[in-house]
Amino acid sequence: MNAIETILSRKSIPLMEDPKPSKSQLKKIYKAGLRAPDHGGLNPWKFIEVSGKDRLKLGKKFVNVTKKVKKNPSKELLSKVKKAPLRAPLIIITIANIKKDKPIPEIEQILSAGAAAQNMMLACSAMGFYSIWRTGHLAFNEYINKSLKLNKSDVVIGYLYIGSSSKKIPSPKKLKIEKFVKKLG
Ligand SMILES: Cc1cc2nc3c(=O)[nH]c(=O)nc-3n(C[C@H](O)[C@H](O)[C@H](O)COP(=O)(O)O)c2cc1C
């Protein structure tokens, strides 16, 4: 598949299985992340890799964060977040490592981390893997930062769930370009 075909055929799926990317494939995925556009060359990114039994540790962290963020969370919700990391064999937690002392606005550093996330997802697609970007109440808050031992100024911008699927995945919906594009003037 060429680059355009890879981009156009990328499809998020909620549940994935083994195999996950190998070490050398992961290296390519990170290299793709590190090619994100980056105003001022700040490298405003951090990645936390979670796989195997570490996913259970992440599930416990999700439970603790949910208890802080949500008022009286239901048993069902707590059980759901505890098991959430088992939805794929690999999760890359993507973080905007904000450089507060630099003149580049925080939003631009967050956008750069978002571009890194998308580059990594596309690298996954190019190598035949699936992925989905998730956030919800487990991102963008001080509790998750504490739980992951991040700086106060860091921003968890997404959990990239990555893996394989033996199921037939429907093609992505085609949107009408004219609905989104107009000419200036
Ligand atoms: C910043 C961001 C956060 C997202 N968070 C979630 C999420 O928490 N849960 C979810 O089901 N989808 C989430 N999505 C949407 C999915 O990643 C995915 O894009 C969506 O299911 C549409 O599928 P597609 O990527 O194949 O078009 C998020 C997307 C973005 C860009």
Per residue in 78-119, pLDDT (tens digit) is: 999 999 999 999 999 999 999 999 999 999 999 999 999 999
Residue with CA at minimum distance from ligand 1 atom 6: 134
Residue with CA at minimum distance from ligand 1 atom 7: 134
Q: What is the pLDDT of residue 1?
A: 81
Give the 3-state secondary structure of the chain: CCHHHHHHHCCECCCCECCCCCHHHHHHHHHHHCCCCCHHHCCCEEEEEEECCHHHHHHHHHHHHHHHHCCCCCHHHHHHHHHHHHHCCEEEEEEECCCCCCCCCHHHHHHHHHHHHHHHHHHHHHCCCEEEEECHHHCCCHHHHHHCCCCCCCEEEEEEEEEECCCCCCCCCCCCHHHCCCCCC
Q: What is the pLDDT of residue 92?
A: 99
The number of the ligand 1 atom at minimal distance from the alpha carbon of 136 is 8
Residue with CA at minimum distance from ligand 1 atom 13: 134
Q: What is the pLDDT of residue 148?
A: 98
- The Å distance, Cα 44 to ligand 1 centre, comes to 22
Domains of the chain: 3-179 (3.40.109.10)
Per residue in 32-86, pLDDT (tens digit) is: 999 999 999 999 999 999 999 999 999 999 999 999 999 999 999 999 999 999 9
